Structure 1
Amino acid sequence: MDANTEELRAAHDVLAELYAERLADALDRMPVERAVLDLFCDLTLAADLGINVGDVGCGTGRLAPYLAGKGLAPWGVDLSPEMIRVAQRDHAAFRFDVADLRELPFEDASLVGVVCWYSLIFLAPADRHAAFGELYRVIKPGGYLVTAFKAGSSQVRRAGRSANLGVEFDLYWQTPQEMERSVTDAGFTTVFWGGVPADGPDSPAQGYLLARKAVVDPPR
């Protein structure tokens, strides 16, 4: 494991309990995020390809009950063992495993959809091709990928200090155009994109992107 990945994992091990405390009811306060997830759920179920979806970068597992309530069967994975421990503790009805986004544990074309909720913001440019290739690999033809991300200028940022827990890590607030390019370069087709403007100079805009894997793979 490279140094940046190790730093990221160690930091989120420290942050796990804080995330569980602060984000447990976050969706209740975010109607736009619920609407995007609802669109993903509706389209995924309408594809009639099954109900198994991946929650990649699941953190403390807070999305699992919501996805299950819509009729899907989520399987969460996260880089941080402590995040997974908290997810298993707080949402024992669901499956959670430690895994790297660049090497997912799912079989080829085994999922009808994947949710990446603010988990792609940690990908360095050099890792994006492999990561989006993995997402494409595990989704069934005709299935969907949805992501929420912080929209910005794409430059690396140092985060974590504000938690006052002695951790720091890199993240990237990508432009919507850059995020869409990564998705389409991997072979997906954009279905929906949107965003919410920043509410202050130190707060980024929120971006949302929903894409579909073609029923028949395009020629490579």
Structure 2
Amino acid sequence: MAEGAHVLVTRNGYDAIAEKYAELFRAELDDAPLDRALLRGFAELVRRDHPDAQVLEVGSGPGAVSAHLHQLELQVSGIDLSPAMVDIARREHPEVSFDVGEMSALDRADAGLAGLVAWYSLIHVPGPQRQGVIDEFHRVLRPGGYALIAFQVGDDTLHLDEAFGQAISLDFHRLQPDAVIALLHTAGFELTARVVRSPESTSRATKVPQGVLIARKPS
């Protein structure tokens, strides 16, 4: 797939399934105590080191994670490729600002953010483009800022031609923690935490191990 083509394909796929996706995963965090603990730990790190605690979620989807971070007292906003997802997020979580945007070209100033969250969004970025995306995360974070990245663990790519009765073309790239950590180190991050957990028994997501990394841009 040509560089940038995956952006259009991913946007179209999520536009087609946005309402049903949001309905299925609306309460996903309610039954995910480990995920909530990791998000809380990230929020506390950001608040401890940065009084204003401005955070961006990239790939915010229907907005549940951004809304949860808002409840954790972060000044959070979200961007997503899919206009349909952004519409849902704005409707369901009016307390948070959501816009259409692309993680490889963030509309943010250099060193302006205290935190950045990529919650199962890096998995849609093909391998050749991943380092550029991580470099962009590094650019927008201020010294001492934190990035949190969640992903499915593995070596394969799940391709879907259909979901919720809609024809789509979506790739879900499973990633190895060591490979993502190498990208972070190349960009200039320092690793703060590495967690790999088994699938939540109550989750509607694919039953594969899940990885979460927290990294810090050095002061």
TM superposition score normalised by structure 2: 0.92
Distance 2:214 2:58 in 1: 15
- Identify which of 87, 94, 109 aligns with 1:92: 94
Q: 2:64 aligns with which of 54, 58, 62?
A: 62
1:163 is displaced (CA, Å) by 2.9
2:210 to 181, 190, 206: 206
Mapped to 2, the partners of 1:171 and 1:183 lie a distance apart of 20
Alpha-carbon shift at residue 2 of structure 1 (Å): 3.5
1:4-32 alpha-carbon deviations (Å, 9 max, x no partner): 22111100001211122111111110011
What is the letter of the counterpart of residue 164 of structure 1? G
Matched residue count: 213
Matches within 5 A, 1:1-220: 2-153=4-155, 155-159=156-160, 161-198=162-199, 203-215=207-219
Percent identical across equivalent pairs? 32
Q: Distance in 2 between matches of 1:182 and 1:75?
A: 25
Residue 144 to residue 2, structure 1, CA distance change in 2 (3 Å): closer
| Letter of the structure 2 residue corresponding to residue 111 of structure 1 | L
- Alignment check: 8 A CA contact 1:49 1:143 kept: no
Paired residues of 2:70 and 2:96 also in contact (CA < 8 A): no
1:84-118 deviation line (CA, Å, top 9, x unaligned): 11111111121111111100011111110001100
Measure, in 2, the Cα distance between the counterparts of 1:160 and 1:76: 27
Secondary structure of 1:168 counterpart: strand
* Contact 2:6–2:125, Cα closer than 8 Å, also in 1: no
Give the deviation of 1:33 after TM superposition.
Answer: 0.3
Q: Which runs of 5+ in 1 are unaligned?
A: 216-220
CA deviation profile, 1:16-66 (whole Å, cap 9, x unmatched): 111221111111100110011011001000102522100110001111221
Deviation at 1:160, TM superposition (A): 5.4
Contact 2:103 2:136 in 1 (8 A): yes
| Partner Cα distance (1:150, 1:74) in 2 | 24
Partner AA of 2:140 in structure 1? V
1:108–1:138 Cα contact (<8 Å) kept: yes
Specify the code of the residue in structure 2 equivalent to 1:44. Answer: V
Counterpart of 1:212, as a letter, is: R
Partner of 1:218 in structure 2?
Answer: none
| Aligned counterparts of 1:51 and 1:182: Cα–Cα separation in 2 | 25
Offset of residue 195 of structure 1:
1.2
The answer to whether the 8 A contact 2:197-2:209 is kept is yes
Is the contact made by 1:132 and 1:183 (CA closer than 8 Å) also made in structure 2?
Answer: yes
